[in-house]
Structure 1
Amino acid sequence: MSSAQKLLVLVEDDEAFARTLKRSFERRDYTVVTAANHDELVTVLEVHRPAYAVVDLKLAGGASGLTCVQTLHAADPATTIVVLTGFASIATAVEAIKLGASHYLAKPSSTDDIEAAFGKVEGDPDMALSARPTSIKTLEWERIHETLADTGFNISEAARRLGMHRRTLARKLAKRQVT
């Protein structure tokens, strides 16, 4: 692939993560352009036509990466779009694919995982089905983490929204660190 064919746009609002992912892809000979939100993505698309895109599902201010997926697909349906999220759900996965994403990965995902997703545009009917149900503890932790992120990591407000005492939430957080 030439460098023009390996142009990647990264839509990520977490500057540290975006910088790390950008460096990792640049080491693999991708040319990486970043955008922190939908408006910046529109500006990038005025100048560039990326072959690949990595889009964070949940952007700052409650913005949805699904809008970015829709914009990328409208600009060039041939763009291979991978959605990354720390808040994976079946509903958002289905919507992302409907809007033009090629793949949907739950964080943490490595550069290897993302690059492998670029190569797997077609579905795999022979994919093994796993019967790994999510535990109640994992579901609880995911809900706590999502609420904490929504409240800007304000423990008192998160506890109120979760319907639990602040001290109870603090004890749960002490047992398992927020990442």
Structure 2
Amino acid sequence: MINTPILVVDDDPTFLRIIGNALKQQNIDTLLAESPEAARELYLSQPIEYAILDLNIDGQSGLQVLQDLLLHQAQCRALILTGYASITTAVEAMRLGAIDYLCKPASVQDILKKLQTLEPATKQEKETENRPVNPSEDDFQAMSVRRMEWEHIQKVLAENDGNISATAKALNMHRRTLQRKLQKRPVQQ
């Protein structure tokens, strides 16, 4: 059970209200922030053990918020939420210190379930944490060709710092074709 307040940072006031109420029903206090600046004030003034961060907060990167949060609160366990999921951003979030990553729209139940997995590890879990894991072949789910294309485009776009023209050239693709592909929502699996 989570006994400390959870910092929730999202620029959508409706989402903040819903997640705040849902967590309150679970007897979990929340600290809500609609901007990176408001979040910073909160995590500089008190200890934060858990955080839920949107990837895009009012046009700013939630990954920057994550980095600053972890700089000041190294013990914090953060969950990243995003409406534009890609392997590239998921890997980057994990590299920067996020514990997990969820795609929007995520239900309150999904978020609560994920938060339960973010609870501090027991002594036994810590001992087995560094052991290699051999995933079963049955657990593997291959991505569709469309999803792999989307992920590759996102990777090349990130390598070119978001420059559409440079990305199109690197992919040997017409710029307009790339723009059309980017306007579509990411495909699932």
| CA–CA distance in structure 2, aligned partners of residues 59 and 40 of structure 1 | 11
Among 73, 76, 86, the alignment partner of 1:89 is: 86
Conserved? CA contact 2:5–2:50, under 8 Å: yes
The answer for unaligned runs of 5 or more in structure 1 is 140-158, 164-168, 173-179
2:142 corresponds in structure 1 to 131
Shift of 1:71: 1.6
8 Å CA contact 1:9–1:34 kept in 2: the answer is yes
- Displacement of 1:119: 3.4
RMSD, aligned CA: 3.0
Q: After the TM superposition, which segments of 4 or more aligned residues of structure 1 sit over 4 Å from their partners?
A: 121-125
Deviations 1:63-116 (A, max 9, x none): 100011112211222211000000011111111111111000111112222222
Q: Counterpart of 1:57 in structure 2: which amino acid? A: L
Distance 1:134 1:21, change over 3 A: farther
Say which of 88, 100, 105 aligns to 1:103. 100
Which residue identity does 1:129 align to in structure 2?
Answer: F
Equivalents in 1 of 2:112, 2:17: separation in Å? 17
User: Percent of counterpart pairs with the same letter?
Assistant: 29
Q: Is 2:63 the counterpart of 1:70?
A: no
Measure the CA separation in 1 of the matches of 2:61 and 2:103.
Answer: 15
Equivalent pairs counted in the alignment come to: 143
Question: Aligned partners of 1:125, 1:118: CA distance in 2, in Å?
Answer: 24
Going from structure 1 to structure 2, the CA distance change for 1:132 and 1:94 (only over 3 Å counts) comes to: closer
- Cα pair distance change 1:134/1:14, threshold 3 Å: farther
Between the aligned partners of 1:117 and 1:73, the Cα distance in structure 2 is 19
Query: 1:125: how far off?
Result: 5.1
> Do the aligned partners of 1:80 and 1:118 also contact (CA within 8 Å) in 2?
no
**What TM-score do the two structures reach when normalised by structure 1?**
0.68
Q: CA deviation at 1:46?
A: 2.4
Q: Normalization by structure 2: what TM-score?
A: 0.65
